Amino acid sequence: SGYHYNALTCEGCKGFFRRSITKNAVYQCKYGNNCEIDMYMRRKCQECRLKKCLNVGMRPELTKVIHAVRIHKKPQICVVPEYQCAVKREAKRAQKEKDRPNSTTKEHGSPPDTPIKEDILLPTPKEKEPISNKLTPEEQELIERLVYFQEEFESPSNEDLKKITHFPFTGEDGESRFKHITEITILTVQLIVEFSKRLPGFDTLQREDQITLLKGCSSEVMMLRTARRYDINTDSIVFANDQPYTRENYNSAGVGDSADDIFHFCQQMCVMKVDNAEYALLTAIVIFSERPHLIEPKKVEKIQEIYLEALRKYVENHRSKSVNMFARLLSVLTELRTLGNLNSELCFSLKLKNKKLPPF
């Protein structure tokens, strides 16, 4: 039925594996320890069934993901999103750090850009402990996972790019230009969906909440992706086909009203020198943001807190000279809400072109 604990499994085996690991169950085969597990035998021999779960790649460690997001915590009443509260908390904490004598921050290198191991854990938020700036091994590996899949789902395949409408850079064919950008948008949404499915914690949410989050975040995540493709030297956005698109190109496609805001945002992100890890963490935070009609909003918030904490520690370790950088990055999330609404105009055009968002 989906990707559970690092393997494609049915709902029955997902539940069996989770119960077996969480209860530390010990089974014994009565048929020679070599049963062929099918729909019939999986009910007869639990030892061989568990063995098969492990052989196909299901990881016991990943059951902790569910434990991490199911921990009950009495919420504080807050009339603004959590990330805006975090901005204020971070500003106060940064000021205290600045005033403290002999306060230093250790600096580490960037995470390796290599495929990571699949036994990634979603760290459990620590409560009532002193604030630490050091990334835990689990948080470091979480960041590496995000960066890896960000690169993996960065661009559409060459086959998909060949199918889209050509962008005429000369002449006055505004309709073809608009159709081209619309089709690029559709491919980008598909990549966002695939990236989201790989985020630790996402598969623990109800399907209805997964759909709500994906629909709510797509425009904002597209803005972050656009900023990553921005080239400050040519003041253009380089899409997957390696072709730079200028403000004039956007204007000629009929989306000029929002072009200035989009390019201004891209320039801001470029000036801040946001790196790949920060982009990946910001993307995860946007995906797990509060949205209307969520069934389990507190569960989503708990997952987001884990990514917020990872971003805070990463920034503290990699930007020791930029005292307020974490707060500045969080302020990006507020701006994304506004820009996301502008970017939604492109998404609305999908209906005009008889296109639909990909199924979730």
Q: What is the pLDDT along the chain (360 residues), one digit of tens a residue?
A: 566 776 777 778 888 888 888 888 888 998 888 898 887 788 889 999 999 888 887 878 777 654 544 443 333 333 344 444 555 555 556 555 555 544 333 333 444 443 434 444 465 555 545 566 789 999 999 999 999 999 999 888 888 888 876 666 555 556 676 777 778 888 888 999 999 999 999 999 999 999 999 989 988 998 999 899 999 888 998 876 677 888 887 777 666 567 888 889 999 999 999 999 999 999 999 999 999 999 999 999 999 999 999 999 999 898 877 668 889 998 888 888 877 766 565 555 444 444 444 443
Selected from 1.10.10.10, 3.40.50.1010, 3.30.50.10, 3.60.10.10, the CATH number assigned to the domain covering 2-88 reads 3.30.50.10
Structure confidence at residue 281 (pLDDT): 97
Cα end-to-end distance, the chain, whole Å: 13
Q: Which of 360, 293, 343, 334 is nearest to 88 (CA)?
A: 334
> What is d(CA 302, CA 14) in angstroms, rounded to the nearest whole number?
23
> What is d(CA 53, CA 220) in angstroms, rounded to the nearest whole number?
37
Contacts with 131 (C-beta within 8 Å, 6 or more apart), sequence order: 93
Which residue shows structure tokens 């004039």?
Answer: 248
Consecutive H or E run containing 157: none
CATH T-level topology, domain 137-353: Retinoid X Receptor (1.10.565)
What one-character DSSP code corresponds to residue 77? P
Report in angstroms the alpha-carbon separations of 21 from 2, 49, 138, 186. 19, 13, 20, 40
> What is d(CA 188, CA 209) in angstroms, rounded to the nearest whole number?
21
Which residue shows structure tokens 């000629």?
Answer: 252
Beta bridge partners of 231: 236
Residue-range domain boundaries for the chain? 2-88, 137-353
Angle, helix 174-197 to helix 137-152, in steps of 10 degrees: 150
